Amino acid sequence: MNLTKQFFKYVSQNIFGLIGTSCYILADTYFIAQAAGTDGVTLLNLCLPMYNLIFAFGSMIGLGAATRYAILQAQGEARAQRFFSNAILCACLIAIPFMLAGAFCPGTLLQLMGGDADIVALGLNYTRIFLLFTPFFMCNYILSAFVRNDGDPSLAMVATLSGSLFNVVVDYIFIFPMELGLPGAALATAISPVLSIAICSRHFFQKSNTLTFVRQAPSARLLVQSCQLGISGFVGELSSAVTTTVFNFLLLRLAGNVGVAAYGVVANFALVATAIFNGVAQGAQPLISQCYGKNEMTGAKKLLLLGCGTALALAAVLYGAVFGFTNTFVALFNSENSALMAEYAHSGMRIYFLGYFFAGCNIVAAGYLGAVNRPTEATITSVSRGVAAIVTCCIHADLLVLLSDIDGLYTANPHTHPDAKLIPVVEEITPEIEMLAGGAGSALGTGGMLTKVTAAKRATEAGVDMIITNGAHAEVLYDIVEGKPVGTRFVGRKA
C-alpha cells in the first residue's frame, strides 16, 4: 500500500475513534441537560478542566512512549519494549492524586472551579466517581496509542467506538430508566474505558503483535524520554483546561451560571472538532515515525503536507456546519429553552470555530514534530496555540459581542416600523431603554431584544462594554476589531 493510501487509512480510522470518544461526551451532556437542565450543563463545564488534565497526562505519556516505541522498533532496538511497560506503570502512579481527590474532597474541587452551593451539591458524586476511575482513562489512551503504533489502527478504532457506544446506551439507561441521575452518568462514562481496554487487549493474542509487558520498576528516565515527545499533547490539553477555567470564572462574573452553561455547549462541540484534528495528527504519527526511523524524510514531509491539507479542508467543513446549523446544535442542550443561554451560545459557536483554521494546522504540525523526535519545536508549536487563548482570556475582558439576527437596538421594532432608527450607543440602560427592547421575539428563535438587553445590563454592571449586532456575516467581527461603528454598543460602568 502506498504512503497516501496508508495515510488516509490510519487517519480516517483514528478520526472515527476519537470522534466516538468526544461524541459520548456530547451524549453525556445531552442526557444531563435533559435530566438537570442548565445547572447540569454548568456542572459538566466546571468538570471539563479536570477531564482535560487527566487526558493531558494520558496523552503525554501514551503518545510520547508510543512514538519512542515506533522509532526504536523501526531501528530494530530491543529496548523499545520497556517504554510500553513503563508508560502503564507511571500512569497508574500519576493517577493516585486524582483518585485521592475524588475520594476525599470532590466538593472542594468543584468550589475551586467556581461552583456555588447548588452546583457542588449536584455534582459531588459525579465528580467523585469519574476521578476514582482516572487510571482507566489514562491507560486506555496509552494502550490505544501502542496498538495503533504496532500496526493495528482498526482494532484501536473498534475499541474506542465500542466504549463510546456502550457509554451512550448505558448513560441513558442509568440516568432515566434506573433513575440514578448524574452519578449514573458518571458511572457509565467511567466504565467505558474499561471496555475499550478489554477490546484493545485482543491485540496481545494476535500473531502480528510485537508488544510485551516487561517486569520492571517504574523508570523516571524512560518517563522523561517519553514525555519529551508527548509534551505537545500535554500542552494542548492543559491549555484547554486553563482556558476553560478562566473563561468559566469570567463568565460567572459577567453572566452567572447561564453564561457558563452556554460556554459548556460551545466547549462540548469544540471537543468534537479538536478530536477530528487530533485524529489527523495521531493517525499520521505512526507512519511519520516509521519514515523517520528508516531515515525516509521525504515520506515524512509528504505526510505533513497531506495532514495540513486535510486539516484545512476539515476546518472549512466544520465551520460550514456550525454556521448553517448553529441554532439546531444549541437547542440540543437547551432543555429549559433559556433564551439568554441560546443567545450566548449562538454567538460563541460562530466566533469560536473560526479559530480551527489555525488550530487544526497547529495540531498537525505539533504532532509531526513530535513524531520526528523534535520535542522542543513540538512544545513551542503547541504552546503557541495555547498561549494565544490563555493570554487573551486572562487579560481583563473589556468587550463582549452578542451576534443576533438584528443589527442592534432600534427606536422601535424594525420589522413593523420601517422608519425605526438604529441606536449606535447606549450610555446607560434606563427603564426607557428596557421599554424599547420589550418587543416581539427574534425570528431566529433565540430570544427577543429584551433578553439581549438583560445580558447587556449584567455585563455593563461588571464594567464591560457589550455590542449587539447582526451575526449573518462573519466579517462583522473584523469591523469590531478595527473600531468601526457596528450595531449597538452598551457602555460599561466605570469604577
- The model's pLDDT over 314-367, given as tens digits with 9 standing for 90+, comes to 999 999 999 999 989 998 888 888 877 887 888 888 888 988 998 899 899 988
* Residues near 186 by beta carbon (within 8 Å), at least 6 away in sequence: 125, 126, 127, 128, 129, 130
**What pLDDT does 112 receive?**
92
pTM assigned to the model: 0.73
CA distance 11 to 282: 7
Other C-beta atoms lying within 10 Å of the C-beta of residue 392: 12
CA distance 378 to 281: 12
**What pLDDT does 232 receive?**
74
Residue 443 near residue 364 (C-beta atoms within 8 A) = no
One-letter amino acid for residue 311 of the chain: A
**What pLDDT does 446 receive?**
37
* Residues near 388 by beta carbon (within 8 Å), at least 6 away in sequence: none
Residue 159 near residue 165 (C-beta atoms within 8 A) = no
Other C-beta atoms lying within 10 Å of the C-beta of residue 119: 20
The segments of the chain whose pLDDT lies below 50 read 396, 439-447
**What pLDDT does 474 receive?**
63
H-helix or E-strand spanning residue 42: helix 3-74
Distances (CA, A) of 33 to 143, 182, 190, 366, 444: 32, 10, 19, 35, 22
**What pLDDT does 441 receive?**
40
* Residues near 387 by beta carbon (within 8 Å), at least 6 away in sequence: 239
Q: C-alpha cell of 205?
A: 493474542
**What pLDDT does 392 receive?**
53
**What pLDDT does 393 receive?**
52
